[in-house]
Amino acid sequence: MYHSNSYLDFILDPRNSTQSAANAEDNRHTEFGIEEDCPVFRGLPEYVRLVAGATLTATKTLADNQADVAICWDGGRHHAQKSRASGFCYVADCVLALLTLKRVRYPPPDGSLLPRKARVLYLDLDLHFSDGVSQAFLRSHAPAGAPQLLTLSLHHAAPGFFPATALAVLSDPDDSAFDPCTLSVPLARGASNATVARVWRAVERIRDAFRPDFVVLQCGADGLAGDPYALWNWSLSGEGGLGWCVDRVCNTWGCKTLLLGGGGYNSTNVARAWAYLTSIALRQPLPLDSDIPDHSAFPLYAPSFTLDVPAGNAQDHNTDEYLQMVESRFDRAAEIIREKVGQ
């Protein structure tokens, strides 16, 4: 269990999920974050159970070696805190998945009497920083032992942009507070496939150093072109696109992978993305010029009525100088991680 007993008792009590309870003067809704972007709604306790249960069911198929890839598109609630809802996230299903996978054990390696503990990499591609997950595992590894879990978030960051946290800045190995297992790559406006492809080299250096057994990949779609946030200019296709990233993880990394959903406020583009990513996970990628099948929401897929989410015309403000800094810092981070893992 991750959440506090007091939070679970509150959020799972149906008496607290009514508007009249939320409006009461002596209510505890504010204490637990049930306000503003996390409002009450009918069926909230069941929703929390279903999201957590679905993610944990998918996680168990990996832990029990029943699948190489498992998917829960309604998961990925990466802002939820231990005792507080936040950012549309009422339950920390990502954290629950990571805690479950950390418990997996492998036969003792040569020369050892103890089973080897699984290593788990959490990689977040959402437009927003994975504050709930990163904070949950910040400096959680024993200084003298090999780390079991590493979090890495690619996201947008700017003054006033949610979530406001010092952890969202670019990780710096020279900082006295640096945690090599809590990594962050903020990207500026207009982040494009080219920028993500370049940053991806740093991501894969971290992967190579850490050598995970499992990857939990949060596939938020709010960085795609056409999202109402209009901050990144990311596409579904092409080198560096969201589909390309998921293909790299699922089909070339050699790790058991849990795919989770996340943000995304253009519902048709989110549907496009998750349909395409599912086909990639199945190693049967759909043609990006596939026609959207006729259904009740068909008019919303105008003007293309096809699967692809192409990039727009926004300028990419991520400079070569900044991307060189990312590469330099992550080269040093990878060396630190490699030493800690014992490679």
CA-based radius of gyration for the chain: 20
Specify the pLDDT at position 269: 98
Closest CA to 269 of 313, 226, 218, 312: 226
3-state secondary structure of 306: strand
**How far apart are the C-alpha atoms of 270 and 329, rounded to whole Å?**
32
Q: Are strands 182-187 and 214-218 parallel, antiparallel or unpaired?
A: unpaired
**How far apart are the C-alpha atoms of 215 and 213, rounded to whole Å?**
7
Specify the pLDDT at position 320: 98
Specify the pLDDT at position 144: 67
H helical segments located in 71-210: 93-102, 131-136, 193-210
Q: Which two tokens stand for residue 75?
A: 């998961």
pTM over 0.75: yes
**How far apart are the C-alpha atoms of 329 and 177, rounded to whole Å?**
14
Return the sign of the alpha-carbon dihedral for residues 134, 71, 44, 48: negative
**How far apart are the C-alpha atoms of 55 and 93, rounded to whole Å?**
6
Place of tokens 């599912």: 278
Tens digit of each residue's pLDDT, the chain (343 residues):
899 999 999 999 999 998 888 887 667 899 999 999 999 999 999 999 999 999 999 999 999 999 999 999 999 999 999 999 999 999 999 999 999 999 999 998 877 888 999 999 999 999 999 999 999 999 887 776 789 999 999 999 999 999 999 999 999 999 999 999 999 999 999 999 999 999 999 999 999 999 999 999 999 999 999 999 999 999 999 999 999 999 999 999 999 999 999 999 999 999 999 999 999 999 999 999 999 999 999 999 999 999 999 999 999 999 999 999 999 999 999 999 999 998 5
Contact call for residues 200 and 238 (beta carbons, < 8 A)? no
Place of tokens 């919303």: 300
Contact call for residues 46 and 253 (beta carbons, < 8 A)? no
Query: Which residues face 135 on adjacent strands?
Result: none
Specify the pLDDT at position 343: 52
Contact call for residues 118 and 148 (beta carbons, < 8 A)? yes
Number of Cβ within 10 Å of residue 336's Cβ equals 14
Which numeric CATH code is attached to 5-17+27-105+115-341? 3.40.800.20
**How far apart are the C-alpha atoms of 8 and 40, rounded to whole Å?**
15
**How far apart are the C-alpha atoms of 339 and 87, rounded to whole Å?**
36
Specify the pLDDT at position 308: 97
In the chain, what are the domain boundaries? 5-17+27-105+115-341
Closest CA to 130 of 102, 156, 160: 156
**How far apart are the C-alpha atoms of 129 and 143, rounded to whole Å?**
25
- Active-site residue set: 79
